[in-house]
Chains A and B, each alone.
Chain A
């Protein structure tokens, strides 16, 4: 057995309450490294691309990486793989916290969930003891209450819980799976898949350890990477001081902060929702995930009056003390995109999204699309039930509850903005790719991100090729964000490397301070597999191509690499990127060529053979 792994897969048939274990496919672990790649390989074998994502036939995979649970900095990650109800594409939702490591300590590298439980259940894992238990008493509860109840009732106080809130139960298409109260496998609706299976939670306690192939080498490699992280301005200072929120002012100053459903890219009140303001006014503490030496998590509090001002009926917890966030993506989607600069409202809704278990990016962006529809007369108050113009912070709070419970207009918002805008014959107002809403960087002002969004296998996503690093932050080297030259090349490289990082069990945020070459010695020493930079990057490319092939079979491959017309045809109206449109039509053909695909974006037989990909 290669090391880093436990060597065991847990398979749970929810329909028949059958629990079994099987050996990990070592050959796949080697070829795909782990996490995202390994999950894609299993899902390729077992996941029917034609299946309805919310049917019992869809499978739901939780997959760790070979470094998950080690002391490598940020070795906290696990990946959720399934067919996303928002996108119809393969999901790759990644989360930190302590849950992934705990699963490994319990003795399992991954979990495969199949079928649908006849009534609400939760999965209890305490080392060798694995049981499906009744969850009737938890159904209808938010994430906080679910976690607390499970920890208290289990009699095992160190239990780590991943669960869904009401949004997942009610099949909100962008429902998330939340672990450790605030960490989310956030996007594409993985929480709705869990809800469709009648599975409320997976509670884990493990007392085992992670075995390494070359322990001494591993320890010195992990020390080296930690030392480098300490020297980096972003990982040691920026992220630690202001969290991801440090980006609000930076991105706005570059004229790339989407505002009013991407009608503009400069937000005049960005300072009000920035990391600097958050740190001064509402920050309580920095919080780290398992083994993280950066601690970008923001624990925040609201004074009573601010919290009461934005209250809802269904979150019984006293929220005044401390929740987490907002992250940059919350601040953008529920802030500038909705033309809202009330930081307290954004903080509160961020907490509510965590408690209900739903993705604040898709929620905020869907609301922004609805606001534009409202202002342009496509919908009115008879549909929405309340005024829904841009800038309405009260509506931002109130609608989050209505979405999670699918009440009133919330039922329509819960479908995501692609379906919402189509319903009212305004599909041009959907700002996303493959059914998934954009994250916080306007592709006209950061050209590489446009190509990255358009080609992202999980739908629009910033975490699959974060070319903001070179284009805005100058990491590893500065590129001009306004031009399309060189972006096809860098996007392919970033996609492949990111796939490799996502597969290792490490956090992508490491790449602000170190490169794949700094992670490599740890992956080699942990697994004992002789990866080098080329084979590791190729494993990433293999994963990318396999996801693409899967999407092709699901009908969301080629022909779906598109951006909304607003981004390719409407020039940015003002600010530092004034006059720009996305040059996707220039970048895409070069990208396909560099990928070795056909001119219309199909993975070729040669590429399939070169990467050793399985046959359809």
Chain B
């Protein structure tokens, strides 16, 4: 069992303090375009949801890397070693969640490393929409999506929620 980021979209107000905190860690400035957590704002559905790497067990990025520049840290995060990364972008393509980014300033890939066990986004969120918690399954996102799909189909079928 390890600690993972857990996101509660219903609590998000779309303020992007998490993006600002993350970009601060990455760049020393406030530059949301370099944040490794991103907030999706869906205005017409009144939905605001941060998303980032949830350190999936499959580790698609790690498997795709041709030069083994991605390893597992003490915080059990998949981390890129920048000295090794050649910026080929295969990990970016491999990630099914879209949470590995190519950083054009560095010419290398970037992804969440859980801030070595003290995630800045969690501390920055004013509404507690991002938690860093012990969890059995790392695939909470899949469970959440399945729940969401079920709710949607119930709505579509006119069943009371």
> Which A residues lie at the B interface, using CB under 8 A?
69-71, 98, 105, 181, 206-212, 215, 219, 226, 230, 284-293, 295, 297, 299, 301, 321-322
A-B contact pairs, 19 of them (CB 8 A): A70-B20, A71-B21, A71-B30, A207-B33, A207-B34, A209-B23, A209-B34, A210-B30, A210-B31, A212-B29, A219-B24, A230-B126, A287-B14, A287-B46, A288-B15, A289-B15, A291-B17, A295-B126, A322-B46
Q: Once the chains bind, are B33 and A105 in contact (CB under 8 Å)? A: yes
Known: A71-B124, A209-B23, A322-B45. A290 touches B16 (CB 8 A): yes
Q: In the bound complex, how far is the Cα of B17 from the Cα of A289, in angstroms?
A: 10
Contact B23 A321 (CB under 8 A): no
Contact of A295 with B33 in the complex, beta carbons under 8 Å: no
Establish whether residues B15 and A207, one from each chain, have CB atoms under 8 Å apart when the complex forms: no
The answer to whether A291 and B16 have CB atoms under 8 Å apart is: yes
- Which DSSP category, helix, strand, loop or mixed, fits chain A's interface? loop
Q: What residues of A have a CB within 8 angstroms of the CB of B16 in the complex?
A: 98, 290-291
B31 contacts A287, C-beta separation under 8 Å: no
Whether B32 is near chain A, meaning CB under 8 Å from some CB there, is yes
- Choose from A207, A219, A226, A291 the contact partner of B31 (Cβ within 8 Å): A207
User: Are B30 and A209 closer than 8 Å at their CB atoms?
Assistant: yes
When chains A and B are docked, how far (Å) is the Cα of A209 from the Cα of B28? 9
Q: Report chain A residues within 8 Å CB of B48.
A: 285, 287
Number of interface residues of B (CB under 8 A): 26
A210 to B45, CA, bound (A): 31
| Residues from chain A with Cβ under 8 Å of B13 in the complex | 285-288, 292, 295, 297
Which 4 A/B pairs are nearest by Cβ-Cβ distance? A209-B31, A209-B29, A288-B15, A207-B33
Inter-chain pairs besides A212-B29, A219-B24, 18 sampled, C-beta below 8 Å: A69-B30, A70-B30, A71-B21, A105-B33, A209-B29, A209-B34, A210-B31, A215-B28, A226-B126, A287-B14, A291-B17, A291-B20, A292-B13, A297-B13, A321-B45, A321-B46, A322-B45, A322-B46
Residue B127 CB within 8 A of the other chain:
yes
Residue of B nearest to A69 (CB): B30
Decide yes or no whether B44 CB sits under 8 A from chain A.
yes
Q: Is the CB of A295 within 8 A of B31?
A: no
Q: Are B46 and A299 in contact (CB under 8 A)?
A: yes
> Which residues of A sit under 8 angstroms from B24, Cβ to Cβ?
71, 219
* Residues of A close to B45: CB separation below 8 A: 321-322
A105 & B32 in contact (Cβ 8 Å cutoff): yes
Please give, as numbers and ranges, the residues of chain A lying within 8 Å of B32 by CB-CB distance: 105
Question: Known contacts A71-B24, A322-B45: does B33 contact A293 (CB below 8 Å)?
Answer: no
CB of B152 to closest CB in A, whole Å: 15
Q: Which residues of A contact B14 (CB under 8 A)?
A: 287-288
Out of B15, B23, B127, name the residue touching A290 (CB < 8 Å). Answer: B15
- Which A residues are in CB contact (< 8 Å) with B127? 295
* B57 is an interface residue with CB less than 8 A from chain A: no
| A206 engages B30 (CB within 8 Å) | no
- A71–B24 Cα distance when bound, in Å, is 9
Q: How near does chain A come to B118, taking the closest CB pair, in angstroms?
A: 15
Q: Tell me the residues in window 96-127 of chain B with beta carbons closer than 8 Å to chain A beta carbons.
A: 124, 126-127
Task: Report Cα–Cα, A299/B13, bound state, in Å.
Answer: 10
- Interface: B83 (CB within 8 A): no
- Kindly report which residue of chain A lies nearest to residue B105, judged by CB atoms: A207
Interface 0/1 of B14-54, CB less than 8 Å to A: 11110011011001111111100000000111111000000
Residues of A within 8 A of B21 (CB): 71
* Nearest Cβ on chain B to A116's Cβ, whole angstroms: 32
Residue of B nearest to A70 (CB): B30
Closest chain B residue, CB of each to CB of A212: B29
Contact yes or no, B29 A293, CB < 8 A: no
Are the CB atoms of A292 and B33 closer together than 8 Å?
no
Task: Please determine whether B44 and A209 come into contact, CB atoms closer than 8 angstroms.
Answer: no
A71 x B28 contact (CB < 8 A): no
Report B-chain residues with C-beta under 8 Å of the C-beta of A207: 31, 33-34
